[in-house]
Structure 1
């Protein structure tokens, strides 16, 4: 009886190990099939109102460049992330905010690929070089 109990415990441990390994791999591995719709991403070190971020809806992206808001279409399939022309408001802001805004707008215009997990979005250019690593602002 003791032997069968030990075998059952070992089998349960093996199943649990396989299950948690699969869950962990799914959570950290690149997923070209993950949907961006309903998610919001920003820079880890930026919080509050002037934070730069991007929100994804079904086929629409919007967000804050640092001072002005933007919106436009996008597509994300098989790891390719393409933004259609983005429109933005044109408020004047402090020079530092405008510089950060211009940097973020330029970065978004260079994006061609993305790797997405539940908590991290890595934006890449046409050569596969990392442009930015964004963190999920709505991790629910």
Structure 2
């Protein structure tokens, strides 16, 4: 990325192992990573420290990923435009359509290799063309 700031990715997933897996892959690729357990925690974190990219699970307690994106996209704040990559085990066309309708920019089906994850994050953050 041309500017000097480290690109910040917020990983929103209730599974500890998934968050650690994403953190490891993304930090090795030079990203700064923060984590949230669900959509409510993610909204709180974004108000304190905006991210450059969101990686969002669909199925989470308290506020799932689709509800989170719908609430986020309705806000009249700069954080409402942060690109969002859905990462879910749900793989049907209806799942992808629901994610797009909620405001997702891209949809990946779990599991992903670290290389695939970083490749898509690089693309979404403008590190690759």
**TM-score if structure 2 supplies the norm length?**
0.28
**TM-score if structure 1 supplies the norm length?**
0.27
* Structure whose residues are more often strand by fraction: 1
Q: Which has the larger radius of gyration?
A: 1
